[in-house]
Amino acid sequence: MDIDELVLQAKQGKAEAFGQLYDLFAQRIFKYIRIKIQDRQQAEDILQDIFIKAYKGLPVLRTDHLNFPAWLYKIAANTVNDHFRKTYRAPTVIGMDEEFDIAGNYSVEREIQSLSDGESMQKAFTQLPPLYKQVLELRFLQEFSLSEVAKILGKSNLAVRLIQFRALKKVRLILNNDL
């Protein structure tokens, strides 16, 4: 069944249609969340919050020219951002173990050389500003088109292309500096 048809049925209160939408998008949304949230339990809670917000938003959702995946990812991005706002307002304090032994012959150069390409890329990715990360995640990991990413982020296609260009340039710079 077509996504737009499922959205219309879910909007009319048919739980089965919303369940099918959940089945279609939950895995991809969860992957999107896990890139940002390392704790699996927190990621699952956030996924649940996203679909609750989507379900509650259905009655007022305008379906003309609707891109449901973009709308859902916008909810996901906002929910993840809300999570980080809450987390950073009430940070947890971790004590340092007094018996912790620091290795004396640690070599940054050897560690960098031992990293595989995937790990190097992931390390470079963590050094990017949040907007750069988000654009690269949506474009290359979630495989959204340029216009879909623009709609999710509320930006023009040109702005997204520029952000993507700058993000890729920064990744290249980080990788070249690490080698």
DSSP string, 48-70: HHHHHHHHHHGGG---TT--HHH
In a domain, 18, yes or no: yes
Indicate if 17 and 77 belong to the same structural domain: yes
Per the structure, the complete domain to which residue 66 belongs is given by: 1-89
Query: Does the pTM exceed 0.85?
Result: no
**Listed residues 89, 105, 124: the one ending a domain:** 89
For 105, which DSSP code?
A: S
pLDDT in the model for residue 77: 92
Domain count across the chain: 2
pLDDT digit string, tens, across residues 23-79? 999 999 999 998 888 889 999 999 999 999 999 999 888 888 888 998 999 999 999
Q: Are residues 71 and 10 in the same domain?
A: yes
pLDDT in tens, 36-48: 888 899 999 999 9
Please give the torsion angle defined by the CA atoms of residues 88, 93, 99 and 105, in that order, rounded to the nearest 10 degrees: 10
CATH of the domain at 134: 1.10.10.10
